[in-house]
Structure 1
């Protein structure tokens, strides 16, 4: 595995002074980690790479990178799967532009593969469609979460993007980066950190420096300028109209929508409102409430806020600056014919969100 890597000091900068990096509370040299990953891949004939539900650019780029590493390691059959739908306009554009061969997990059978890998998530049954009892061989993730278990585990919650970890792997393996992969990884890092403005670490800057010479800036610009769909714009508009503000906290309902990715876009957009430093946006999608939250307040851990408010009834949590969740509605699923129930559920979500936020302000 050889390629064009340049000065080896560039990608070592995010590591500790002794050449190690904190991985799941253990200092493990990146070369040691890569060797352990190769040991698994080189003894495998087939690999299923599972993206989380409604995968974002960080997840998609990381899957593409692992696919590349696995192919170079000699894995003969590799498939990439995702749960949910790819509805965000930039995510759809990314799949099309880079021709990412991802398909719905609905038709997958994990037992058909020698190895099962998760990228950008870590627990079966949580933000993915994999049965909870499934054993996972490889997990590479940067999200703060408990109960992560795998034969190979690289869990770095202090890193700003999973794509950053994948760049470290590619660099350590001395693999040549083509324009397609470099551009996808750089876009994934930029989107996950909101243009290096959210949750960014030294590692993201080092990775971006490594990727920049190979990336296609015109493609990056095209992806950044991807157009809204009418459904996305309607959902953001509903969130704007339904916003409620208490001091620096804002909560908003986007109503019923088919595009889950409109929620984080609305949460980011509403964070620009003067005087607001934390936003929680929610909407009804099929038979669940989906939530997305953001904060600029360094004293607030929005992942813990959302987990405290909603995790007992569903799955919720996230980072210090960004979080999300899904709460099944069960027998109280609102429908177009039962607007009263939907109003009751909406008021309950507003109340829970503000009550949880009050503990941090």
Structure 2
């Protein structure tokens, strides 16, 4: 038994007593959720329904924008209710998944009491002492792994659809075991691999894309500049926030670039995503950047994001100030600026 599995086992009875003593549960994940938040919520719903809790509802604010995430919702039949339609008084228990209640990316007010928190972001110092069952483990790679361990401890059957969702949640948050993982993630990954439906996973990972996707990919390339081992692009105003981390993931594959930052505007906020190959400060930099502008930010050691409200200063001025702050935080020398296409080499002649 690993140290994390032992720690979860020690809290298991407290978790069950606190939550299952109620008759209904609201499972609330972060706004515009990713596969890990969705899968972990789906797994918890299965846990509570196994114990006859009803209603048991998965909810979040925002919407699902990324093509893979929309396909995941469809393929695993994940039922959810938009938070705008939720009446908190209808639920005896509230469980927060894949984020913290006061993290700036969840819709409940700070005065709302929650009964349990399951998360893996930040570090031990950033996890407040909530009056709730605390199943937060920053050393683990995915919240789906925590939920998988709970299901195993409860001897709750995991069908192929749920196994596929949990596997995909772990796979995406650890970049297929390439970052921010521990032994528990590897064990869950291997065990779920044998339980999952590989055809469903293939459909999730290879969704149909709208032509609009190419528009933002083009804008990202046009605005992409490098500064030695640092790359930055701004893709403008986007219809869904998912385009920003998706472009960051694409450009993160470029050779010889340690850092990638992609920004864009969604609604009245500037959003940004940070990726790193080997440095372990992405979450720290995201938090530092966001707090300069009274926004919210954070994440993992090599993958992070932030949101900055524009307020009354306007998008153009906010972007200018953000870029200056970005260069300062990352100690960028503007004179090293090169367009990404200038780095390409001529193809060898036949």
The TM-score normalised by the length of structure 2 is 0.89
Measured against aligned partners, the alpha-carbon deviations of 1:135-177 in whole angstroms (never above 9, x if no partner) come to 1111000011443624211010000000011111111112211
Distance between the aligned counterparts of 2:73 and 2:314, measured in 1? 32
Superposed counterparts of 1:56-205, under 5 Å: 56-124=34-102, 126-144=104-122, 145-147=126-128, 149-205=130-186
Q: In the alignment, which of 340, 355, 358 is matched to residue 328 of structure 2? A: 355
Superposed counterparts of 1:279-358, under 5 Å: 279-298=260-279, 300-312=280-292, 313-334=294-315, 342=316, 344-358=317-331
Paired position in structure 1 for 2:15? 37
Q: Residues 176 and 281 (structure 1 numbering): CA distance in 2 closer, same or farther, change over 3 Å?
A: same
Measured against aligned partners, the alpha-carbon deviations of 1:88-147 in whole angstroms (never above 9, x if no partner) come to 111111111111111210121222210111110112462011112211111000011443
Q: In the alignment, which of 275, 286, 295 is matched to residue 256 of structure 2? A: 275
SS in 1 for 2:253: coil
SS in 2 for 1:289: strand
Distance between the aligned counterparts of 1:74 and 1:39, measured in 2? 14
Task: Answer whether contact 1:278 1:295 (CA < 8 A) is retained.
Answer: yes
Paired position in structure 2 for 1:337? none
Distance between the aligned counterparts of 1:123 and 1:294, measured in 2? 24
Q: Residues 83 and 111 (structure 1 numbering): CA distance in 2 closer, same or farther, change over 3 Å?
A: same
Following superposition, the deviation at residue 194 of structure 1 comes to: 1.6
- Between the two proteins, the alignment pairs up a number of residues equal to 328
SS in 2 for 1:126: coil
Q: Residues 282 and 345 (structure 1 numbering): CA distance in 2 closer, same or farther, change over 3 Å?
A: same
The TM-score normalised by the length of structure 1 is 0.87
SS in 1 for 2:330: helix
Which 10-residue stretch deviates more, 268-277 or 214-223?
Answer: 268-277
Following superposition, the deviation at residue 237 of structure 1 comes to: 2.3
Distance between the aligned counterparts of 1:218 and 1:327, measured in 2? 39
Distance between the aligned counterparts of 2:142 and 2:214, measured in 1? 27
SS in 1 for 2:195: coil
Distance between the aligned counterparts of 1:251 and 1:349, measured in 2? 12
Distance between the aligned counterparts of 1:248 and 1:215, measured in 2? 39
Q: In the alignment, which of 219, 236, 243 is matched to residue 224 of structure 2? A: 243
Distance between the aligned counterparts of 1:211 and 1:331, measured in 2? 48
Distance between the aligned counterparts of 1:32 and 1:96, measured in 2? 36
Following superposition, the deviation at residue 49 of structure 1 comes to: 0.5
Distance between the aligned counterparts of 1:246 and 1:273, measured in 2? 13
Gaps of 5+ in 1: 1-11, 23-27, 335-341
Paired position in structure 2 for 1:25? none
Task: Answer whether contact 1:306 1:324 (CA < 8 A) is retained.
Answer: yes
Paired position in structure 1 for 2:348? none
Paired position in structure 1 for 2:244? 263
Following superposition, the deviation at residue 233 of structure 1 comes to: 3.1
Distance between the aligned counterparts of 1:79 and 1:241, measured in 2? 43
